[in-house]
Amino acid sequence: MTDDRVDGRTLRYRHRRPELLAAATEYVLDHGIDGVSLRPVATALGVSHATLLRHFKSKDELLLCVGDKIRGDFVRSWQQDEQFSTASSSAELVRMVWTRLCEPREQRQFILLFQLVGRAARRPADAQALAPSIVDDWLTPIEERLCADGWPADEARTLATLVLGHIRGLQLDLLLTGDRARVDAAFDAAIAMMHSPHGS
Amino acid sequence: MTDDRVDGRTLRYRHRRPELLAAATEYVLDHGIDGVSLRPVATALGVSHATLLRHFKSKDELLLCVGDKIRGDFVRSWQQDEQFSTASSSAELVRMVWTRLCEPREQRQFILLFQLVGRAARRPADAQALAPSIVDDWLTPIEERLCADGWPADEARTLATLVLGHIRGLQLDLLLTGDRARVDAAFDAAIAMMHSPHGS
């Protein structure tokens, strides 16, 4: 994807990129980004530092690719998984997605999210570099689904922003308190808005 | 507050605690927690490491105190500031609070929040230690205000959870994208729920 240089070594390792990215993603989700550098990731993945470098030029590039992979996998799951295909409305789909996201395995992505934002938000250039993969690229599939369900485009964008904000703000709460009943009640109150275009 | 030992040195420095905490809070808001340890904070504050240690036994204790101070100062501002006293409803107050929180100076607290959560959420004991100051202690004053405005207690707790989640999730978006118009529209859609007990 980001690898434009084609030479012998690149070709030799090219087919391994998806496999390396999948393993690196699990590593970062399990370990977070504090102190992550390419060398220990390579060791954990059982490849040489040079091999990893051929695919991901830097730690920052690896983290961007990891973020894209998490989003890509998750969006595909709600668009294609049999479980989610039974949802009869955007609100019901969002509720199903929320339930999936509350599983500890999925919650790891929010810890990573807060770490990435905490690291980048102080430097405008870093924040700008992260914004597409952390905000815009998530909004688009949510908007598309809302529009398919009959929401006007401008309201769909507002609502997508709100849904994404809900999920992240309430996951922050849940990660610290573990108070699923209270947080679920708040989430349900939030998606009640999705049943009518104006929420009141 | 947390200093139960009273001896000569403690007494001598006791009156400096509020002043040290205020300076340490600004330092942490400006620099974040990555690599923060008591020694550089002491240097920045112009006191000895030993003096700072007398007031804050560890980096973690200092960070908890900083979190409490940020919350205490902010809650006092919405309870006592003249600007906020003109709000005629909880919804209007929350909108005013949001506008204040979007000022870059106030936004620093969200960067710190995401850093703290990103650091603690992976270890259950750390998450549990942070939960009161990051969630419960914020919910209480919001709930109290909602109850004073006529919301039933159980709905007030749900709504307080949701308001806190909104603010944090949408600040995450705003910190990265700077897209104030889109995020403000989402915030306005969210507080539209606060005008009736059931949001629909």
* Cβ–Cβ under 8 Å, residues A185 and B153: no
Q: Report pLDDT for A1.
A: 43
pLDDT at A163: 95
* Phi (first) and psi of residue B150, to 5 degrees: 100, 5
Tell me the per-residue pLDDT of B81-128, one tens digit each, with 9 for 90 and over: 887 888 888 889 999 999 999 999 999 999 999 999 999 999 999 999
B4: number of CA atoms within 13 Å, CB side?
Answer: 0
Lowest mean pLDDT among A63-67, A133-137, B13-17, B169-173: B13-17
Helix (H), strand (E) at residue B199:
none
Chain A contact probe: residue of B140, B158, B187 with most A CBs at under 10 A: B158
For residue B197, what pLDDT is reported?
Answer: 47
Per the CB < 8 Å rule, is B165 touching A164?
no
How much is the pLDDT for A98? 96
What are the distances in angstroms from CA A28 to CA A70, A147, B90, B122?
11, 34, 41, 12
Residues of A in contact with B196 (CB under 8 A): 200
User: Would the pLDDT of B143 be above 70?
Assistant: yes
Q: Give the pLDDT mean for B47-74.
A: 91
How many Å lie between the alpha carbon of A12 and the closest alpha carbon of chain B? 37
Of B167, B199, B45, the closest CA to residue A168 belongs to B167
**Mutate: best of A109, A151, A161, A196, partner B, most B CBs <10 A:** A161
Beta-carbon contacts of B107 under 8 Å, excluding residues fewer than 6 positions away, are B101, B171, B174, B175
Which residue of A lies nearest to B173 if distances are taken between CA atoms?
A135
Q: How confident is the model at residue B13 (pLDDT cuts 50, 70, 90)?
A: low
Are A199 and B198 an interchain contact pair (Cβ–Cβ within 8 Å)? no
Q: What residues of B are in contact with residue A121 (Cβ under 8 Å)?
A: 110-111, 114, 175-176
Give contacts of A136 with chain B, Cβ < 8 Å: 177
With vertex at residue A9, the alpha carbon angle to CA A7 and CA A11, rounded to the nearest 5 degrees, is: 70
Residue B148 per-residue DSSP state: H
> Which tokens in the block code for residue A106?
């999925």
Mutate to test the interface with B, among A113, A173, A188 (most CBs of B within 10 A): A173
> What are the structural domains of chain A?
1-63 (1.10.10.60), 88-200 (no CATH)
Residues shown for chain A: 200
- CA-based nearest residue to A192, from A144, A154, A148, A159: A159
As a whole number of angstroms, the distance between CA B32 and CA B12 comes to: 30
Given this model, what pLDDT does residue A153 score?
Answer: 92
Higher per-residue confidence, B195 vs A77: A77
Chain A contact set for B136 (CB, 8 A) = 177
Instruction: Write b or e for each residue in B74-110: b if 16 or more Cβ atoms lie within 10 A of its Cβ, otherwise e.
Output: bbeebeeeeeeeebeebbebbbbbbebbbeeebbbbb
Choose between A126 and B3: higher pLDDT: A126
Rounded Cα gap, residues B81 and B99, in angstroms: 14
Query: Nearest-CA residue of chain B relative to A136?
Result: B177
User: Mean pLDDT in runs of 10 for chain A (200 residues)?
Assistant: 47 72 93 84 90 90 92 87 83 92 96 95 92 95 91 93 97 98 95 60
Do A175 and B127 lie within an 8 Å CB cutoff? yes
What pLDDT was estimated at residue B17?
87
Would the CB atoms of B168 and A169 count as touching at under 8 Å?
Answer: yes
ipTM, two decimals, is 0.89
Chain B contacts of A162, Cβ < 8 Å? Answer: 166, 170, 186-187, 189-190
Q: List the single best residue of A114, A119, A188, A194 to mutate versus B (max B Cβ within 10 A).
A: A114
Cβ separation B199–A192 shorter than 8 A: yes
Which of A158, A170, A186 shows the shortest C-beta gap to B186?
A158
- Higher-confidence residue of B77 and A135: namely A135
- DSSP secondary structure code for residue A196 in this structure: S
CB A190 within 8 A of CB B184: no
Phi, psi (degrees; rounded to nearest 5) at B142: -70, -45
Contact A76, A141 (CB under 8 A): no
